[in-house]
Chain A
């Protein structure tokens, strides 16, 4: 089962509470007038209308996990003790990718150049949280698919660039997921473009 599944329109409600939190809102401390809340909610709404969440995932069986590196079916190998530990109970894993698309990034640049940084920061936070929520959604979806096989995803995921899982591994994940099909490119410094794009690895147990 080694072909990526593409999700062309991930429809999720904006995680408003998380967006507010990302912007520094503290429930019991921050004082927000009705008009400022309306303005912020309006920017979130605008951002949502510009975000096109797309994603992909790929299931790979784990051929070897020696505690220092991990080898997947097809020969993909990551040298990372932390990732190996994370996947120690799994015979299989899933590579995950998601993007918020180009339109929102263009809008952030446009708002910044127009001097409306208020809109830009809200757009930015909305895009970040929605991209993250898209990965959550893909995990929920994948969980639905594998439940019938008596399997479950680990509740957390692991991304290249964290701990000893070098960012350069993002290129292999990107290539395996063929994220160019959902409009994502990768720089020679292993950064995904559009900026609000993410990848991760998650374990499948059961």
Chain B
């Protein structure tokens, strides 16, 4: 059966896949903890019977029992047999069982390891391991391959590349999604689909994890973007525990009823995973017989993806900004960092650009003196984990581009492929192999076509060559070539004419490297912004720019309203309505100085407090008055808001820090008037306990209320606490502990205190401490910092 014949079958009917193998093997006597592959080789008739039972139930494709037949999994079971042999023999058993009527899919499951950049297993080692398995499956006669139950997009890519690098064989790729419609590694089904179908998967889908109901939603989510058939192989419901046994209790009839819904959502191949039986498959085959499958709705797609996000390059979507900052040209600090093999600046630039509104990140690490291939692998690995944005690989070196494409767990954009023959013949096959999109750069023989007409010719030529590799207009965006108006006053007009032609005649997506237009001119931000507005009007898809530029981002937002891409101007209104953090001009204007100080503390406005206090002092208020009549009441009201849960901890802390800034400023004035301390408090987290955040909160609040706090830190021995208590003679000793095991040390401190004649009151607190425990050891208790202040107040007044 050729790939073409399988594809033909998919146009005619819903293709039925088999059901669970593992649970069937257990029913037939496979002991717990046994390696299924080894056990099947020792009991060949059992697995053959299972294959036949699914064939008889109506499955047109059965899976080999090789889900865990990779070197890593087999090693875990201590299986020393040759991986190739295990796979070949099990494939042969399936072929023998099914004859010619039913297709056999060589089944590949996860290794159980995480692959770089998400784990330590080198990507190429994973590819090699899968190749070992694939060779065995193909030699055993498999008609197609299925990669299934994958949770990690990178491991899935490794397996798919392994298959495609060995043979052009029909390959189904299926991932497993949690209740939140993401894999455990955080990939959503559409991002996975975009990555995998562009990398050469012949069918994409989902299996395991959920029951069929949730899978209807997953298939429906993928269908509009799928260029390949979709598969669904749900469990027989969600597993539950019954008397210590795992039970899948969706009956065959109920399970099969979802076959119609799955087909209606767009699934082309249906089967069952954990808990399903031949009966489930039989009913599924019956209920879907005669249903005409929905073919893929599109033939190609202009979309990019990362491991955790996809980007659809639709003409109706707002303009995408490609963040341009990760480029060492003119950036000495970045150059230095790259030379030293460090990546902290790159990480920072990526996160900043994402925050500033970039939709993609351009990555250029080209500079003399570094190993570009090694560096790009490090950078792509880093950015794949820290940023959700799809990446644009920007390099003049083909090796660098290939290394990035191979490792990146998404669909990348290559920047760029020009009309230079050498580059076209090497880069276009790479774009095709890895399913990457590319920026079509209309340069040829090192020359820049000056006019739009000449650029059109080059664009058509590159496209013609791209078509020979199976690439379509959805696979690229055209760079309309931005040249400096300083050297050619017609340059911008030619670029815009090229853009207009691409949008209206050639019908392709477009991109501009904006800032080139203003090179050598003053007022560059304004030239860039004006140019962007004109290009936006003509339908520009994306712009390479610095998202930190206010002019660019403001014009982009405005342009989207004026070109009807921001419906009802929602994004524009949100963007321009956001008040500056902390500003509240309406509230500020009518307030007295005292109210402003109160407001600053209550709102936790640390920036203003010192200036307000300065003003209050210069207008005649005394330091003591400011503290007692304004600041203390303010912090008391914050405590009250916290107790009522109207404030939560960060608000309480911000208010306390604001208060502390004010008190620190007033400290010299207070000393002058001999402002008495309210009392002396020793605080410590007891021995054996290293948790001190709660104790630190209490210390800050007590200081704000005028107490002299001696903070001994954490993991402090009983003897150390008592020694200092004898020396300092505090009014109260506060002890903190987070754990039941360290809480007992509080008693030890108090016992030691009493035994050595220290009569000071103890206040205790911490996550596991209770009022009852406090009473039992002769201490007072406070549930949080605010209450601690009240208790201390009472103890000092008594």
The finding on whether chains A and B are genuine partners in a shared complex, rather than unrelated, reads yes
Q: Which residues of A pack against B, CB within 8 Å?
A: 1, 3, 5-9, 11-13, 20, 23-26, 29-36, 38-40, 43, 49, 61, 88-91, 108, 112, 115-118, 120-122, 124-125, 137, 140-141, 144-145, 147-152, 154-155, 161, 167, 187, 189-191, 193, 195, 205-206
Q: Are B246 and A33 in contact (CB under 8 A)?
A: no
Identify which of A20, A118, A125, A145 contacts B654 (C-beta below 8 A): A118
Contact A8 B244 (CB under 8 A): no
Residues of B within 8 A of A189 (CB): 688, 741-742
Please give me the 10 A-B residue pairs with the lowest Cβ-Cβ distance, nearest first: A89-B244, A206-B246, A24-B648, A118-B653, A189-B688, A152-B246, A148-B22, A23-B649, A25-B648, A29-B645
Tell me if B241 is interfacial: C-beta within 8 Å of chain A: yes
Complex alpha-carbon distance, A11 and B122, angstroms = 18
In the docked arrangement, what's the CA distance between A193 and B691, Å? 11
Q: Are A144 and B184 in contact, CB atoms less than 8 angstroms apart? A: yes
Q: Which residue in chain A gives the minimum CB-CB distance to B741?
A: A167
Residues of A within 8 A of B689 (CB): 191
Chain B, Cβ-Cβ closest to A87: B244
Contact A117–B696 (Cβ < 8 Å) = yes
- How many angstroms from the CA of A61 to the CA of B33 in the assembled complex? 9
Is the interface on chain B under 10, 10 to 19, 20 to 34, or 35 or more residues? 35 or more
> Quick check: B650 and A147 within 8 Å, CB to CB?
no
* B151 at the A interface (CB under 8 A): yes
**Cβ of A115 and Cβ of B660 under 8 Å apart?**
yes
Contact in complex: B351, A205 (CB < 8 Å) = no
CA A30 to CA B650, docked complex, whole Å: 12
Find chain B residues with CB under 8 A from A40 CB.
650
Q: Complex: how many Å from CA A90 to CA B581?
A: 54
B657 contacts chain A at the CB level, 8 A cutoff:
yes
Is the beta-carbon distance between A118 and B246 smaller than 8 angstroms?
Answer: no
Q: How far is the CB of A182 from chain B (nearest CB, A)?
A: 11
Q: For A3, what are the chain B residues with a Cβ–Cβ distance below 8 Å?
A: 76
Q: What residues on B are CB-neighbors of A26 within 8 Å?
A: 645, 648
- B residues contacting A by CB (< 8 A) are 22-23, 26, 32-33, 36, 67-68, 76-77, 109, 112-114, 117-120, 149, 151, 176, 178, 184-186, 208-209, 235, 239-241, 243-246, 274, 347, 351, 385-386, 579, 581-583, 603-604, 642, 644-651, 653-654, 656-657, 660, 688-691, 693, 696-697, 700, 739-742
A148 near B649 with CB under 8 A, answer: no
CA distance A55 to B77 in the complex (A): 22
Residue of A with least CB distance to B180: A13
A24 lies within 8 A of B649 (CB): yes
Task: Give the Cβ gap from B412 to chain A, nearest Cβ, in Å.
Answer: 19
The docked-state distance in angstroms from the alpha carbon of A144 to that of B239 is 11
User: What residues of A have a CB within 8 angstroms of the CB of B742 in the complex?
Assistant: 189
Task: Please name 11 further chain A to chain B contacts, defined as beta carbons within 8 Å, in addition to the given A29-B644, A148-B68, A152-B246, sorted by A numbering.
Answer: A1-B77, A7-B119, A8-B119, A9-B385, A24-B645, A29-B645, A30-B648, A32-B651, A35-B581, A36-B651, A167-B741
CB pair B646–A29 under 8 Å, yes or no, is: yes
Q: In the bound complex, do residue A90 and residue B244 qualify as a contact, i.e. CB atoms below 8 Å apart?
A: yes
Q: How far is the CB of A158 from chain B (nearest CB, A)?
A: 15
Whether B33 contacts A12 by the Cβ 8 Å rule is: no
With contact pairs A39-B650, A147-B274, A161-B739 given, residues A118 and B151 touching in the complex (Cβ less than 8 Å)? no
Give the residue among A31, A35, A49, A154 with the most B Cβ atoms within 10 A: A35
Residue of A nearest to B739 (CB): A161
A117–B657 touching, CB < 8 Å: yes
With a CB–CB cut-off of 8 A, which chain A residues contact B386? 49
CA of A12 to CA of B185 in the docked complex: distance in angstroms?
7
CA distance in complex: A106, B386 (Å)? 20
B690 touches A191 (CB 8 A): yes
Selected from A33, A167, A206, the residue in CB contact (under 8 A) with B739 is: A167
B581–A39 CB distance below 8 A:
yes
Residues of B within 8 A of A121 (CB): 649-650, 653, 693, 697
Once the chains are docked, how many angstroms separate the CA of A26 from the CA of B36? 50
Q: Which of B149, B178, B243, B603 sits near A89, CB closer than 8 Å?
A: B243
Residues of B within 8 A of A120 (CB): 653, 693, 696
- Asked if B67 contacts A147 (CB within 8 A), the reply is no
Q: How far is the CA of A204 from the CA of B22 in the complex (A)?
A: 17
Can you sample 24 A-B contacts with CB below 8 Å? A5-B113, A7-B114, A7-B119, A9-B114, A13-B186, A23-B648, A23-B649, A23-B650, A35-B582, A39-B650, A43-B650, A49-B347, A115-B660, A120-B696, A121-B649, A137-B184, A141-B151, A144-B184, A148-B109, A189-B742, A190-B741, A195-B690, A205-B246, A206-B244
Closest to A188 in B: B688
From B112, B185, B644, B700, contact of A5 by CB (8 A): B112
Cβ–Cβ < 8 Å partners of A148 in chain B: 22, 36, 67-68, 109, 149, 274
Q: Is the CB–CB distance between B67 and A9 below 8 Å?
A: no
Q: Which residues of B contact A30 (CB under 8 A)?
A: 645-648
Q: Separation in Å of the A128 CB from the closest CB of chain B?
A: 10
User: In the complex, which of the residues B68, B239, B244, B646 has the most CB atoms of chain A within 10 Å of its own CB atom?
Assistant: B244
What is the CA–CA distance of A8 and B152 in the complex, to the nearest angstrom? 14
The CA of A148 and the CA of B689, in the complex, are separated in Å by 42
What CA separation (Å) do A189 and B184 show in the bound complex?
35
Q: Which residue of chain B has the shortest Cβ distance to A128 in the bound complex? A: B693
Q: Is the CB of A151 within 8 A of B246?
A: yes
Q: Find out whether the CB atom of B650 lies under 8 angstroms from the CB atom of A115.
A: no
Q: Which residues of A contact B241 (CB under 8 A)?
A: 89, 152, 154-155, 205
Is the Cβ of A108 less than 8 Å from the Cβ of B693? Answer: yes
